[in-house]
């Protein structure tokens, strides 16, 4: 045998044995597997970190985009909408991320759309060939004033003379009118003004259109039967009772002492105290509000009844007559709209500074002839009784037509009837006691639709309600 073969064969055998032993050896395999799993976990964690950073940036970019379009779409915004959006992004140091800003606006709306995108660096995904990911944001906001029918129901009762309440109310109401009746809302928003105290003077035009049996021409109020507070309408042709024309208050708000005064008749008689129906004439409405004076008692339920009636579709027949009379603009001949009209919002803003008070009437036996009607239009009722009627007989001359508790019940009923029809009710308790606050909150569409305010806070309440009516909202 060759020496070489003798040397190679043992070496070959030894190598073969070592190889077989290595193949059977399992030590170290788990170490390799653990290292592999750790490597995979690091890679997956890195990828998750990239996606987490992407979501955080997307949320931040979307939030800035949403705020920008809301500010730009506001119809009260006087700056250029595109500039407003750009300014929001610039102040967040991301102005270069804005891809496009689109503005669509008309007389009663503004829609602002913004698209933005940021390229996010991806250090972990880069290992898989993905160097960056786009972070998009898309926002659209719109302020649109749909067709809106508003009843503004204002308390002008005697207690409004205290603590600068009336001046504050006038400022607040005029602020509200300026907010909801703007040039861009022309033809879309109408407002009915309903001043109320112990009664509501609807004026001769509405009075005649309802075919009321007239006993006198001094004023134009209706004593609504209690059963009619469960419905929103004032039915034309119903035999309504005209409110007697007389003054119950012995102590005159105007004069400050007892005498034969007629300033505070149960039914208001001055032209500026009348209902002004379905108007968009802001100047005329504000001029009327400026003339209002505090007077007589408080019948919140009666103000609310008329505020509701002027939104009820049955009033359209009366509206047509008012258009013919030149009282209502022809633009609004089709108002009030049907309750199920998706394009029309019906809302009432009801304000008071107190509570329902009782309201008396003259007994029919003392008010059943033309001479008696004329007599009580010339004499303060309490003054005449005190001076010319025996104390034993005075109670025969009058009765309580609406008590305070009855007034609360009637208010509940008419508020419920309005809410059933989908009318949105905002109520304001202006420096009221707890009972008054409870009554007004019960009437409101929800607790958030009730405002309890003091002093100049009244203007803020009216402004907040007006802005809610204007319906600023994100739509995408």
CATH assignment of 147-474?
Answer: 3.40.50.410
Q: Which pair of structure tokens corresponds to residue 105?
A: 């606006």
SS3 at position 462: helix
Cα of first residue to Cα of last residue in the chain, in angstroms, is: 94
Closest to 370 measured CA to CA, from 149, 215, 256: 215
Q: What is the pLDDT of residue 284?
A: 96
**Residue 234 burial (CB < 10 Å; 0-12/13-18/19+)?**
buried
Cα–Cα distance list, 474 to 32, 182, 402, 471 (Å): 56, 22, 47, 10
Q: Tell me how far apart the alpha carbons of residues 196 and 215 are, in angstroms, rounded to a whole number.
A: 22
H/E stretch holding 144 = strand 132-144
Tokens 């006993």: give the residue: 215
Cβ atoms of 328 and 319 within 8 Å: the answer is yes
Q: What is the pLDDT of residue 383?
A: 92
Cβ atoms of 118 and 135 within 8 Å: the answer is yes
Cα–Cα distance list, 459 to 172, 307, 368 (Å): 4, 21, 46
Strand segments (E) across 145-266 = 147-155, 189-196, 222-223, 241-242
The DSSP call for residue 126 is: G
Dihedral over Cα of 144, 288, 402, 255: its sign: positive
Q: What is the pLDDT of residue 160?
A: 92
Q: What is the pLDDT of residue 472?
A: 54
Cβ atoms of 195 and 166 within 8 Å: the answer is no
For the chain, the domains span: 29-143, 147-474
The whole-number mean pLDDT for each consecutive block of 10 residues of the chain, a chain of 476 residues, reads: 42 53 55 58 56 71 86 84 90 83 78 84 60 79 83 95 92 93 83 97 90 85 95 87 90 62 91 95 96 94 97 93 92 93 90 94 94 94 92 94 96 96 93 93 92 89 84 56
**Residue 25 burial (CB < 10 Å; 0-12/13-18/19+)?**
exposed
SS3 at position 451: strand
Q: Tell me how far apart the alpha carbons of residues 346 and 339 are, in angstroms, rounded to a whole number.
A: 8
- Give the chain's length: 476
Q: What is the pLDDT of residue 4?
A: 37
Q: Tell me how far apart the alpha carbons of residues 250 and 241 are, in angstroms, rounded to a whole number.
A: 25
Number of H helices, E strands in the chain: 13, 14
């Amino acid at each position: 045998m060759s020496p070489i073969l003798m040397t190679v064969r043992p070496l070959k055998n030894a190598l073969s044995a070592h190889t077989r032993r290595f193949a059977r050896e399992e030590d170290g395999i788990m170490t390799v597997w653990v290292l592999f799993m750790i490597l995979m976990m690091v890679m997956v964690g890195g990828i998750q970190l990239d996606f987490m950073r992407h979501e955080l940036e997307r949320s931040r970019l979307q939030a800035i985009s949403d705020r920008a379009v809301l500010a730009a779409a506001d119809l009260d915004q006087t700056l250029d909408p595109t500039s407003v959006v750009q300014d929001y992004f610039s102040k967040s140091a991301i102005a270069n991320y804005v891809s496009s800003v689109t503005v669509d606006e008309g007389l009663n709306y503004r829609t602002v759309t913004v698209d933005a995108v940021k390229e996010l660096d991806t250090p972990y995904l880069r290992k898989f060939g993905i160097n960056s990911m786009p972070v998009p944001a898309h926002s659209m906001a719109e302020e649109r004033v749909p067709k809106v029918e508003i009843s503004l129901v204002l308390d002008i009762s005697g207690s409004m003379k205290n603590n600068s309440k009336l001046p504050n109310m006038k400022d607040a109401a005029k602020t509200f009118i300026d907010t909801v009746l703007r040039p861009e809302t022309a033809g879309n928003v109408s407002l009915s003004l309903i001043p109320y105290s112990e009664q509501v003077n609807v004026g001769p035009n509405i009075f005649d259109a309802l075919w009321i049996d007239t006993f006198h021409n001094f004023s134009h109020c209706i004593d609504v039967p209690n059963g009619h507070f469960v419905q929103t309408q004032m039915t034309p042709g119903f035999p309504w009772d005209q409110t007697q024309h007389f003054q119950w208050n012995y102590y005159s708000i105007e004069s400050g002492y007892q005498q034969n005064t007629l300033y505070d008749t149960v039914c208001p008689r001055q032209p500026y105290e009348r209902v002004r129906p379905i108007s968009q004439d802001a100047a005329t409405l504000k001029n009327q509000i400026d003339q209002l004076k505090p007077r007589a008692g408080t019948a919140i339920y009666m103000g609310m009844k008329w505020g509701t009636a002027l939104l009820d579709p049955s009033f359209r027949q009366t509206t047509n007559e008012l258009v013919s009379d030149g009282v209502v603009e022809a633009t609004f001949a089709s108002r009030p709209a049907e309750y199920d009209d998706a394009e029309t919002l019906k809302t009432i803003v009801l304000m008071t500074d107190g509570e329902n008070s009782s309201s008396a009437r003259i007994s029919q036996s003392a008010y059943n002839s033309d001479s008696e009607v004329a007599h009580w239009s010339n004499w303060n009722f309490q003054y005449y009784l005190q001076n010319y009627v025996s104390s034993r007989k005075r109670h025969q001359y009058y009765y309580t037509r609406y008590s305070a508790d009855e007034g609360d019940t009637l208010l509940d009923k008419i508020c419920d009837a309005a809410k059933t029809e989908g009318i949105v009710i905002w109520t304001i308790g202006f420096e009221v006691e707890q009972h008054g606050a409870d009554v007004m909150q019960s009437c409101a569409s929800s607790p958030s639709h009730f405002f309890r305010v003091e002093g100049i806070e009244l203007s803020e309440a009216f402004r907040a309600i007006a802005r809610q009516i204007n319906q600023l909202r994100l739509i995408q």
